[in-house]
Amino acid sequence: MSVGVVMLVHTAFDRAEQVARHWAAAGCPVVIHVDKQVPRAAFAAFERALADVPQLSFSRRFRCEWGTWGLVAATQATSEQVLASFPEVRHVYLTSGACLPLRPVSELIDYLADRPQTDFIESATTSEVPWTVGGLEAERFTLRFPFPWKRHRFLFDRYVALQRLLRVERKVPGGLVPHIGSQWWCLTRQTLSAILQDPQRQLFERYFRRVWIPDESYFQTLVRQYAINIESRSLTLSKFDFQGKPHVFYDDHLQLLRRSDCFVARKIWPHAHRLYDAFLTDPARAMKKTEPNPGKIDRIFAKAVTRRTRGRPGLYMHSRYPRKGREYGLTAAPYSVFQGFAELFENFEDWLAKATGARVHGHLFAPDRAQFADKMTVMNGALSDSASLRDYNPDAFLTNLIWNTRGERQCFQFGPGDTQAISPRLAKDPNAQISVISGAWAVPLFRSNADFVDLRKAAAEMQKVESAYLDTLRATETKARVRIWTMAEFIEAPMEPLQTILDEIDPRPQHRLAEAPRMADLTGFGQFLQNLKNQGMHPYLMGDFPVDQGTVVQDRDAPRKPYLVR
């Protein structure tokens, strides 16, 4: 018993010839259909080239246009010819000119001989699979499609709209249940001849002639009427991209195709010399009784499709420049922004780096330059610390930094002394984890050795800037994870917020805070605030600070001595 091969060819005749010879050499009868649109000369040349091959013939030619009946008519005529001229054929395998056998043909013959009653055809009801691309699912079968989509898109669309308006609904004849599936099947003589010799064939044909893409539904539907044993999968490996276009395999897919263990793959790029050489001239490889396993390839392609349709979040380039709201994440990874911590604690940056292993930068948006961690002037991959470059496009600076340090947690300090242009972006970014100790900017002022008039002015300015920033963070459209403490609140019980922050950066359990950062000496801070008030400048962001608050803190913890918490 042998396998008959039906080949539908419309281009790349040299490759089709090569593959046809390959099938024939293994003893499979081949019937080839050539698209009627192919010029007569090209067809004649093709015919001549294959004239010496025994058991190979050409069928009547039909005009094949994508999505129309011609493809089915061609398949019918060619299959009939195989069945009639080669009585020993038990299975008929439908292939195209761009198909390539991946395993020795004898393996396929053996495989099918072991399953003499089985039809391999992908066949699923339309309502249950999400395969169709482009919105025409059930309507493929209930509307009429007399206009080819490729050439008469306008008429196609208008006619569909008109039918929808008139609520046209065709009835499926003879109690058929519409099924769809891959065009490439392998059917037994019994099933195929039953379909082709059906007394109702005329009726079914009339119906399917006006169905959209009948080559993916005619056999798939009718096979359910007759088949004894349907394996609803195609023996031909074919992948589709997210637009529903067939994926083309190139030379570099060689190993991938080998590993798939599939019998046949399509579509193959006609110039993929390595693929054709490897699979057609391979001396019979060791017989592997393995099942085809397209799953290996599926996983790789699913990943590629996600990357194609969603892109990599946080990447902004000329290939990916999403409009607002379509970014799937403004930045590539979570990061932390601290405001007031470096002011309140003397060694906050070193401490945080040690406690979390994250990369801790200083004030990235400082007016003079970006303070990268470890005082670097350029970051990974040469991001410059220049303030003018940064401020020219702060959003790009931030997304760039987060993109290029994927895999390493980034933390940086922010404050009212910094360039504020980035703040709306920070607030909108779900990846930003923003912790603020409001009013802590007063600590450096308090410890500085400046004239009080200047201090008062600076304090007023800082308070104004920070207040505006806090308003941004508190706005309803904020997506960042924001925590705000007043300074008074924070120094009341500093360990708890610090623990929360650490847990957020590194959510491993039992990650206990072993060492706290060293708090600045706040003796007299309350008095300092009172002095500001006395001068008419009311600092309110730090919360209620009694005049002697600073001393209270100092009393509880001896100054300049790290303390442990268990």
Partner 1 sequence: MALHSPWSRYKLRLRRKRLLWRAFRSRHQLTVRQNRTRRIASGDILLFSTMRNEALRLPHFLAHYRQLGVRHFLIVDNGSTDETAAILQAQDDVSLWQTQASYKTARFGMDWLTWLLRRYGHGHWTVTVDADELLIYPQWDTKDLIALTQHLAGRGHPSLGALMLDLYPKGSPDQQSYRPGANPTDTLPWFDSHGYWCERRGQHKSVSVLGGVRARKFFQSDPAFAPVLSKVPLVRWHRSYVYFSSTHVALPPVLNAHHDLAGQERLTGVLLHTKFLPGTGARAKAEKARGQQYTRGPAHGAYYDALAQAPDLWTPDSVRFTGWRQLVELGLMTRGDW
Residues forming the site for partner 1 (CB under 8 A): 241-243, 245, 247-248, 250-252, 269, 271, 304-305, 307-313, 315-323, 326-328, 376-384, 386, 388-389, 392-393, 396-397, 400-401, 403-404
* Nearest residue (CB) to partner 1, 158 versus 307: 307
* Nearest residue (CB) to partner 1, 378 versus 565: 378
Which runs of consecutive H residues, i.e. helices, occur in 493-548?
A: 495-505, 525-534
Tell me how far apart the alpha carbons of residues 276 and 270 are, in angstroms, rounded to a whole number.
9
* Nearest residue (CB) to partner 1, 286 versus 382: 382
Tell the smallest beta-carbon distance from residue 11 to partner 1 (Å).
11
Q: Indicate if the alpha-carbon torsion angle 415, 418, 420, 424 is positive or negative.
A: negative
DSSP codes, 494-506 = -HHHHHHHHHHH-
Among candidates 32, 65, 6, 67, which has minimal Cα distance to 215? Answer: 67
The letter for the amino acid at 109 is I
* Nearest residue (CB) to partner 1, 105 versus 401: 401
Tell me how far apart the alpha carbons of residues 73 and 249 are, in angstroms, rounded to a whole number.
28
Tell me how far apart the alpha carbons of residues 43 and 402 are, in angstroms, rounded to a whole number.
58
* Nearest residue (CB) to partner 1, 22 versus 239: 239
Tell the smallest beta-carbon distance from residue 309 to partner 1 (Å).
6
Tell me how far apart the alpha carbons of residues 213 and 143 are, in angstroms, rounded to a whole number.
12
* Nearest residue (CB) to partner 1, 311 versus 550: 311
Tell me how far apart the alpha carbons of residues 533 and 537 are, in angstroms, rounded to a whole number.
5
* Nearest residue (CB) to partner 1, 60 versus 271: 271
Tell the smallest beta-carbon distance from residue 272 to partner 1 (Å).
8
* Nearest residue (CB) to partner 1, 386 versus 535: 386
Tell the smallest beta-carbon distance from residue 190 to partner 1 (Å).
39
Among candidates 383, 391, 454, which has minimal Cα distance to 418? Answer: 391
Tell the smallest beta-carbon distance from residue 321 to partner 1 (Å).
4
* Nearest residue (CB) to partner 1, 152 versus 245: 245
Tell the smallest beta-carbon distance from residue 379 to partner 1 (Å).
6
The CA distances from residue 318 to 315, 321, 322, 381, in Å, are 10, 6, 10, 19
Among candidates 238, 271, 239, 240, which has minimal Cα distance to 12? Answer: 271
Tell me how far apart the alpha carbons of residues 368 and 391 are, in angstroms, rounded to a whole number.
10
Tell the smallest beta-carbon distance from residue 360 to partner 1 (Å).
18
Tell the smallest beta-carbon distance from residue 322 to partner 1 (Å).
4
Tell the smallest beta-carbon distance from residue 398 to partner 1 (Å).
11
CB 122 within 8 A of CB 115: no
Give the angle 376-380-386 at the CA atoms, nearest 5°. 50
Burial of residue 198 (number of CB atoms within 10 Å: 0-12, 13-18, 19+): middle
Which DSSP helix (H) or strand (E) runs through 435?
strand 432-438
Tell the smallest beta-carbon distance from residue 155 to partner 1 (Å).
20
Among candidates 244, 297, 246, 250, which has minimal Cα distance to 269? Answer: 250
* Nearest residue (CB) to partner 1, 239 versus 456: 239
The CA distances from residue 384 to 5, 9, 252, 378, in Å, are 63, 57, 38, 5
Tell me how far apart the alpha carbons of residues 204 and 214 are, in angstroms, rounded to a whole number.
11
CB 139 within 8 A of CB 145: no
Tell the smallest beta-carbon distance from residue 141 to partner 1 (Å).
28
Q: How distant is the alpha carbon of residue 140 from its chain centre?
A: 28
* Nearest residue (CB) to partner 1, 170 versus 258: 258
* Nearest residue (CB) to partner 1, 304 versus 465: 304
17 token code pair? 């010839």
Backbone angles phi, psi at 369, to 5 degrees: -165, 160
DSSP codes, 322-370 = PPTT-SSSSSSS-EEEEESHHHHBTTHHHHHHHHH--EEEEETT-SSB-
Tell the smallest beta-carbon distance from residue 219 to partner 1 (Å).
26
* Nearest residue (CB) to partner 1, 24 versus 383: 383
* Nearest residue (CB) to partner 1, 328 versus 540: 328
Give the angle 314-318-320 at the CA atoms, nearest 5°. 40
Tell the smallest beta-carbon distance from residue 70 to partner 1 (Å).
21
Tell the smallest beta-carbon distance from residue 253 to partner 1 (Å).
10
